[in-house]
Amino acid sequence: MIHPTAIVHEGAQIAEDVRIGAYSVVGPEVHIGPGTEIGTHTLIEGETTIGARNRIFSHAVIGSIPQDLKYHGEKVRLEIGDENIIREFTLINPGTEGGGGVTRIGNGNLLMGYVHIAHDVRIGNACILANAATLAGHVELGDRVVVGGMTPIHQFVRVGDYAMIAGASALSQDIPPYCLAEGNRAVLRGLNLTGLRRNVERETVDALKSAYRRLFESNEALRENAEKLFKESDNEAVRNLCRFILESRRGIPFKRKTNAQ
């Protein structure tokens, strides 16, 4: 299962059926779960835990020290869940002391070629990051988020569940769950209706449509409106949307529609 040219350092804990390709290097503090496949010329180091049935393609670099000048060799971790696909030349860094010391990636995600996951990032489950998407430090993605290719996301930005960021955008503020954002700088363009219709009941989609119009297309102040809607609605998705807005620290990028005369 391990190519004779691969280097697996003493101390690494590797499940029996893990496949490791030619010229790959696995460090002494790495844990790799069953069924995981590692391509050629891959580097996995640091205190890195990788779960079961992941596929890691050639030339990925996983667990190398953070690209943060505040990092001075302290113990930090990278945790990757199960059944992720990590394509060629992807770079994933562990956490830093200032961000809790851990970068965490959930289950069933697809990270396409040249994706960068910086220190202290949190990624949920079933997300898709297209080629060369770049997540700066402390970024948080919910579940089933889609990030288009060549899109950078500023540090400390949060992106909610089922949100979609169009390719070649530049994101510097928080994107609420269920929403679609596009542009440089990215702003809300509506709901991610395609993603919602694939995963959410029609009644919830209709409730989110109504909530989106009220929140982002009326003349009321966003936070006050979100507070009112959170108290009034019994739909959990609508309440999640309002809760995200109320908790946002970087603000929500949107433009109100104006009625032309």
The structure's pTM equals: 0.96
8-19: burial string, b at 16+ Cβ within 10 Å, e else? beeebebeeebb
In this prediction, residue 260 carries a pLDDT of 40
Q: CATH code for 196-247?
A: 1.20.1180.10
Q: Reduced to 3 DSSP states, what percent helix, strand and coil does the chain have, rounded to the nearest 5?
A: 20, 25, 55
Active site residue 120: yes
| Per annotation, catalytic residue among 39, 81, 108, 137 | 137
Shared fold status for 7-138 and 196-247? no
In this prediction, residue 177 carries a pLDDT of 98
Active site residue 154: no
Tell me the domain boundaries of the chain.
7-138, 196-247
Active site residue 72: no
pLDDT tens string, the chain, 261 residues long: the values are: 999 999 999 999 999 999 999 999 999 999 999 999 999 999 999 999 999 999 999 999 999 999 999 999 999 999 999 999 999 999 999 999 999 999 999 999 999 999 999 999 999 999 999 999 999 999 999 999 999 999 999 999 999 999 999 999 999 999 999 999 999 999 999 999 999 999 999 999 999 999 999 999 999 999 999 999 999 999 999 999 999 999 999 999 999 876 543
Question: Is the domain 7-138 a CATH 2.80.10.50 member?
Answer: no
| Per annotation, catalytic residue among 81, 119, 138, 161 | 119
In this prediction, residue 257 carries a pLDDT of 73
pLDDT tens digits, 186-209 = 999 999 999 999 999 999 999 999
| Per annotation, catalytic residue among 21, 46, 108, 120 | 120
Chain length of the chain: 261
- Region label for 189, one of left (φ > 0), alpha (ψ between -120 and 50) or beta (otherwise): alpha
Which residues have a Cβ under 8 Å from the Cβ of 228 and sit 6 or more positions away?
Answer: none
Q: Helix 236-247 and helix 222-232: axis angle, to 10°?
A: 150
